[in-house]
Amino acid sequence: MVFLMLATTGWTAVYRPASEASPRDAALASWAAARFEGRALPAADAPAPVVARFFASLDGAQRARLTEGHPLVVGNLDGVPPGVRYRANRMALKQAVRIEDARAHDRTLAPSDRATAARRAHRFESLAEPGRQILVFDPTGSALVAEVFGDLGEARRVSVIVPGVDTDALTFERTMRRLTAPVGMAESLYAAERTAAPGSRTAAIAWAGYTAPTGVGMDAATGRLAVDGAARLRSLTSALPGRASVALFCHSYGSVVCGVAAHELPPRVTDIVVAGSPGMRAANAAELDTSARVWAMRDAGDWIADVPHLEFGGLGHGSDPVSEEFGARVLSAAGAKSHTGYFEPGTESLDNFAKIGTGAFGSTVCAAGDDTCRRGTSGTDGP
């Protein structure tokens, strides 16, 4: 039995005492028990407007003190101004680097766990570099992260990358195969949007804010992890500052998350774009019950086409979003080259993403070579 536990969960899961709180849990407990200058703090799960009003009542020095005392909570609290969250998460990341570095040198841990801790310390150190805008950071488990490109507070249109399997803090960015990781995807899309509409006020978010499946196994074949991801995605999109409209770019299993979330997304989410989708856990676009435009694309060489598009007994994710019966607006993905090339510069997939991200719907390129995917759009929603 011990051998099986070690083989399936790793030594760390067995070694760590069950009573040991995660850094996130400890931070939340500290926040709940604290008072700030005689005032109660808003609950960590309070609605974003409540949190926003509380932080609006603080001056700069007060915000700084509260951030220094509770960085792991402030950095993930919906309603906190983005700049304050960036500073808080930089502090939390530096704390996490120290923790992981200590674990990397802890000889009571298995060599594999020390190696993982060293990799996490390296990744967290990179994320904490000056100038990076980390909107979400939770070191629990494989860690949750989101990074912003552009000015989120001034943006009129926000693009959110929702990635698929094998996404966590360690794979959030890559040096090799850069455009297969959320950071590379968001950077590529943001650059393409600025090229397509130089005067537009846009921002892009690389969002690894949910626990994604590892590999193409049972978790990837069910919607279990997508349910939690959908709740987190609804929270993110509801709490973004200002009145910017939001477009979701959902890749692979990320499209399952977007499909599960669709019916409860706020009205500001105007577009849901899926690429290389195994299904959205719906029989058709109408069943998603969303006011957002639903777009879909798939490269001709994408292996996901061979995955059975059905759902039975909880397995599978339903109809193929690029099929005529599904009823999505089907876009060209020419040049994407298989399952991971949708954000490559020079592809029609990235060009179409940028047009949707900037509201230039009338110039999107349809998969059928006609105007079927553009029908019913206003041509542009402006900058």
Reported confidence tier of residue 157, pLDDT bands at 50, 70, 90: very high
Residues 131-146: what's their mean pLDDT? 96
Per-residue pLDDT at 378 exceeds 80:
no
Per-residue pLDDT at 129 exceeds 60:
yes
Reported confidence tier of residue 260, pLDDT bands at 50, 70, 90: very high
pLDDT tens track for 37-77: 999 999 999 999 999 999 999 999 999 999 999 999 999 99
Do residues 244 and 160 lie in contact, with contact meaning Cβ atoms separated by under 8 Å?
Answer: no
CA–centroid distance for 5 within its chain: 31
Residue 312 structure tokens: 């039975």
How far apart are the C-alpha atoms of 345 and 72, rounded to whole Å?
36
170 CB burial (10 A radius; 0-12, 13-18, 19+): middle
Per-residue pLDDT at 166 exceeds 90:
yes
Residues 114-125: what's their mean pLDDT? 97
Do residues 381 and 364 lie in contact, with contact meaning Cβ atoms separated by under 8 Å?
Answer: no
Residues 228-233: what's their mean pLDDT? 97
pLDDT score for 20? 64
Reported confidence tier of residue 380, pLDDT bands at 50, 70, 90: low
pLDDT score for 309? 85
Average pLDDT, the chain: 92
pLDDT score for 17? 44
pLDDT score for 316? 84
Packed helices 348-357 and 182-196: angle between N→C axes, nearest 10 degrees: 70
Residue 122 structure tokens: 């390296």
**Left, alpha or beta for 156 (phi > 0: left; psi -120 to 50: alpha)?**
alpha
Residue 115 structure tokens: 């190696």
How far apart are the C-alpha atoms of 53 and 39, rounded to whole Å?
14
**Beta bridge partners of residue 206, listed in sequence order:** 147, 161
CATH number of 142-383: 3.40.50.1820
User: Between 15 and 114, whose confidence is greater?
Assistant: 114
Delimit the domains of the chain by residue range. Answer: 15-132, 142-383
pLDDT score for 56? 96
pLDDT score for 178? 95
Per-residue pLDDT at 10 exceeds 60:
no
Per-residue pLDDT at 374 exceeds 90:
yes
pLDDT tens track for 168-190: 999 999 999 999 999 999 999 99
Residues 6+ apart with CB under 8 A from 307: 278
Per-residue pLDDT at 2 exceeds 50:
no
Residues 319-326: what's their mean pLDDT? 97
Residues 147-153: what's their mean pLDDT? 97
Reported confidence tier of residue 366, pLDDT bands at 50, 70, 90: very high
